[in-house]
Amino acid sequence: MIPLYHDLTDQTVLVLGGGSVGARKAARFAREADVVVISPTFDDALLGDNSADEAASPPDMTADEASPPIRLVRAAPDPEAVRGWVDRVSPALVVAATDDRTVNAAAESAALNAGLLVNRTDVSGGRDAGSVVVPATVDDGSVSVAISTGGTSPALSRALRQRIEAEIEGAGAMAALSGELRRELAERGIDPETRRAAIRRVVRSEGVWKGLQKGRSNGRQEAHDVITEVVDE
């Protein structure tokens, strides 16, 4: 599998299963997408003020109803009904997170037949084309690092995430600063090769990293000194 980032803004993710696994998946995708969770019961993590809880079956669900970030629909998605839910919701991604392998298999089949992405939580290792793995991630501002062991060792993913969190602290601030500096250098008419060299020097400078820890203005001053040295060479 080749890791990719996928923008789910203004798209819908359908989660089948409202247990602890489904709750984690729903919360993860709700950062960006509209999420619909279908389950007869819901984990406490899903039963908050930001979720709508309604009883429904596929024929009763309409597109113009309220759509909070996580929408909970109380229904038991048996294998025969799964395709109806997929057709009704029209998601970009289907997450099969029930405790019933036959339901998860039906969800996977319905998603793949519809040309949709699918994340099946009860399968690790080899997967069908169109399947996706949701990796552990570490975020610092606009910087995101994804970690996957191919489903073979979730414990290792968690351990690596903790190590990487410490390593990339402040990376978001560095990304913002270096992006701003690139634009400024271009506006000054600095040639591309010199711009690239200057920014490389900035992001590798311990002085700039330490300066950012003290505040943006300190980091920017350190970066200015580094860039001046490169431009004047």
**Each residue of 149-204: pLDDT tens digit?**
877 787 898 899 999 998 899 999 999 999 999 999 999 999 999 999 999 999 99
What are 35's two structure tokens?
């999420």
192-203 and 171-187 helices, crossing angle to 10°: 160
Q: How far is CA 158 from CA 121, 125, 135, 144, 153, in A?
A: 17, 18, 10, 15, 9
pLDDT at 136: 81
Query: Does the pLDDT of residue 65 top 60, yes or no?
Result: no
pLDDT at 221: 95
What are 151's two structure tokens?
């489903």
Q: For residues 59 and 148, what is the distance between their CA atoms, to the nearest angstrom?
A: 38
Q: For residues 124 and 109, what is the distance between their CA atoms, to the nearest angstrom?
A: 16
Q: For the segment 80-139, what is each residue's pLDDT rounded down to a tens digit? A: 889 999 999 999 999 999 999 999 999 999 999 999 999 998 876 555 666 787 888 889
How much of the chain is in helix, strand and coil states, percent to nearest 5? 45, 15, 35
The total of other beta-carbon atoms located within 10 Å of residue 43's CB is: 17
Q: For residues 170 and 78, what is the distance between their CA atoms, to the nearest angstrom?
A: 47
